[in-house]
């Protein structure tokens, strides 16, 4: 089913897809509440509840309307149940290794100034490179993926440190809020709030992802919660305000993208009476399920050509460009989502496109049974990060690191090789900083 046909079917049976989405979101939310670190402002709420809730609603709606066979419906359903069960099961186990890793790379240290200065200047250097060499992702001509082509390592490191300092600022805000003197507390909170707003806006504009502002807010909340050692209360007004600015930021990026592509004057086709940018944002939400509505009807997913799983995993770790040179083909062309897209648009040559999602990736790479075990492995990795975060309480540096890792690790359910690489990035970068710290202390 191509996009145009799906949109016609979706808006024709809007009530069916609405109730299907609500039906899917509720159980995911209940599961997420058991796992989340920072409540509503947690990456599991965005990646699992929002992204997969809307995607599963599309799958359920298409199955009800007879567009998806019972096999593919049961495959998506059973893999979702296996993943959820794995999260709950592994959460109940006691873990020893993650706290040891956190102690090794995130140990509170003296002198603090050396490492703080090192991390800050690395981030400053990356920001300068992003602005001067890559450009603001918010103003990309095609999309940020196309603009970032060939600069993947710099972009990944920039995002890592951006989220580290977002978590760091979140912890500073929490510490200021605990100041006993009310006058002093108010002044500090105002100053930190202004710094955070500037940081979030400027860094999100450089990143260019529509999710960037919300991601910064989530990282701040996760870092503060890990540091506090308990889930912090968030007023409904603050949550609504954060959500409002996140939507405004996303609409702003879409408006710029449409203007760059000469579509700013275009009118809505499926949602009459609203600006086209609002319809485009609604289509972006529907794109959470694009690999399903493009790939499951008529078994299109079976036509997807794949390469050995290790190729894309290693490529994500070392560099997709370098790995492509080694194997002799562009490894990014052989993600499951991209292969499904090529079925409908063989001449597509722009970076980006549908992601694979852990269920379709696992099924195509490892088969029905092997895929189930790989999904359990993904749940195991995520809960491992969760257990590590529980051991960072009261440590500002470690809480910031685990805040980054928790936010970045959830990309593993969107595109598994990339999510594995993001976790590896955090361990490698802060592991090297820990070695540097040890060297400096031994010299002193």
Instruction: Tell me the pLDDT tens digit for each residue of 91-120.
Output: 998 888 888 888 888 776 555 566 777 788
pLDDT of residue 146: 60
pLDDT of residue 149: 63
Least Cα distance to 402 among 386, 415, 417, 419 occurs for 386
Stretch 401-423: mean pLDDT: 94
pLDDT digits (tens, 9 = 90+) for 135-169: 776 666 555 666 666 567 888 899 999 999 999 99
The whole-number average pLDDT for the span 12-22 is 93
Q: Are 156 and 408 in contact (CB under 8 A)?
A: no
Q: In this structure, what token pair is assigned to residue 400? A: 């910031």
Mean pLDDT lowest for which of 121-125, 174-178, 234-238, 342-346? Answer: 234-238
CB 250 within 8 A of CB 212: no
How far does CA 273 lie from the centroid of its chain?
Answer: 32
Determine the pLDDT at residue 369: 95
Q: Is 110 helix (H, G, I), strand (E, B) or coil?
A: coil
Q: Which residue has the tokens 């060939």?
A: 150
Banded model confidence at residue 292, pLDDT cuts 50, 70, 90 = very high
pLDDT at 306 over 70: yes
Residue 183 reports pLDDT greater than 80? no
Query: Partners of 267 in the beta sheet?
Result: 275
At residue 361 the predicted structure's pLDDT band, cuts being 50, 70 and 90, is very high
What's the pLDDT score for residue 284? 83
Confidence of residue 297 (pLDDT cuts 50, 70, 90): very high
Q: Is the pLDDT of residue 441 over 70?
A: no
User: What pLDDT digit, counting tens, does each position of 311-357 carry?
Assistant: 999 988 888 888 889 999 888 888 999 999 999 988 877 766 788 99
Per the structure block, which two tokens stand in for 229? 């050692």
Residue pair 137/190 in contact by the 8 Å Cβ criterion:
no
- Burial label for 434, CB within 10 Å (0-12, 13-18, 19+), is middle
pLDDT tens sequence across 241-275: 777 878 887 788 778 777 766 666 677 777 777 77
Query: How high is the pLDDT of residue 346?
Result: 86
For 262, the 3-state DSSP assignment is coil
Share of the chain above pLDDT 70, in %: 91
pTM: 0.90
Tokens coding 234: 């968030």
More confident residue, 265 or 77: 77
**pLDDT value at position 114?**
67
Contact status, residue 75 vs residue 359, Cβ threshold 8 Å: yes
Beta strand segments in 257-390, E: none
pLDDT at 113: 65
Structure tokens at 38: 């920072």
Position 409 scores a pLDDT of 95
Instruction: List pLDDT tens digits, range 184-225.
Output: 778 888 899 899 999 988 888 888 777 888 899 999 999 999
Residue ranges of domains in the chain: 112-266
Distance CA(398)–CA(440), nearest Å, equals: 19
pLDDT above 90 covers what percent of the chain? 46
Give me the pLDDT at residue 255, please. 80
């Amino acid at each position: 089913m191509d996009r145009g046909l799906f949109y016609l079917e979706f808006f024709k049976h809007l009530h069916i897809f609405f109730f299907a989405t609500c039906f899917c979101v509720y159980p995911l939310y209940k599961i997420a509440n058991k796992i989340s670190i920072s409540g509503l402002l947690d990456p599991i709420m965005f990646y699992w509840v929002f992204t997969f809730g809307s995607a599963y609603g599309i799958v359920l709606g298409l199955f009800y309307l007879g567009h998806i066979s019972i096999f593919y419906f049961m495959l998506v359903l059973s893999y979702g149940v296996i993943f959820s069960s794995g999260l709950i099961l592994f959460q109940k186990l006691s873990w020893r290794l993650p706290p040891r890793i956190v102690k090794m790379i995130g140990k509170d240290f003296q002198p603090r100034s050396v490492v703080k200065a090192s991390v800050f200047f690395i981030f400053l250097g990356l920001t300068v490179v992003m602005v001067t060499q890559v450009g603001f992702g918010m103003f990309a001509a095609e999309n940020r993926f196309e603009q970032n082509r060939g600069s993947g390592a710099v972009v990944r490191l920039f995002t890592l440190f951006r989220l580290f300092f977002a978590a760091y600022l979140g912890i500073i805000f929490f510490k200021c809020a605990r100041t006993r003197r009310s006058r002093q507390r108010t002044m500090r909170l105002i100053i930190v709030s202004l710094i955070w707003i500037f940081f979030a806006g400027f860094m999100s504009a450089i990143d260019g992802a529509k999710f960037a502002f919300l991601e910064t807010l989530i990282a701040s909340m996760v870092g503060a919660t890990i540091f506090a050692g308990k889930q912090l209360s968030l007023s409904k007004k603050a949550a609504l305000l954060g959500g409002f600015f996140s939507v405004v930021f996303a609409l702003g990026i879409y408006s710029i993208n449409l203007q760059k592509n000469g579509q700013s004057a275009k009118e809505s086709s499926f949602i009459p009476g609203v600006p086209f940018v609002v319809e485009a944002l609604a289509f972006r939400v529907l794109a959470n399920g694009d690999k399903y509505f493009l790939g499951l009807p008529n078994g299109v997913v079976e036509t997807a050509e794949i390469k050995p799983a290790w190729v894309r995993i290693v490529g994500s770790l070392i560099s997709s460009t370098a790995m492509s040179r080694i194997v002799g083909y562009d490894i990014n062309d052989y993600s499951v989502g991209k292969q499904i897209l090529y079925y409908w648009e063989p001449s597509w040559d722009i970076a980006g496109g549908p992601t694979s999602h852990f269920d379709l990736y696992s099924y195509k790479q490892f088969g029905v049974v092997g895929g189930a075990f790989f999904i359990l492995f993904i749940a195991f990795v995520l809960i491992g990060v969760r257990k590590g975060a529980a051991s960072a309480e009261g440590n500002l540096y470690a809480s910031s690191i685990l805040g980054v890792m928790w936010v970045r690790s959830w990309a593993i359910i969107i595109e598994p090789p990339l999510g594995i690489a993001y976790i590896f990035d955090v361990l490698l970068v802060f592991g090297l900083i820990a070695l540097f710290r040890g060297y400096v202390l031994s010299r002193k």
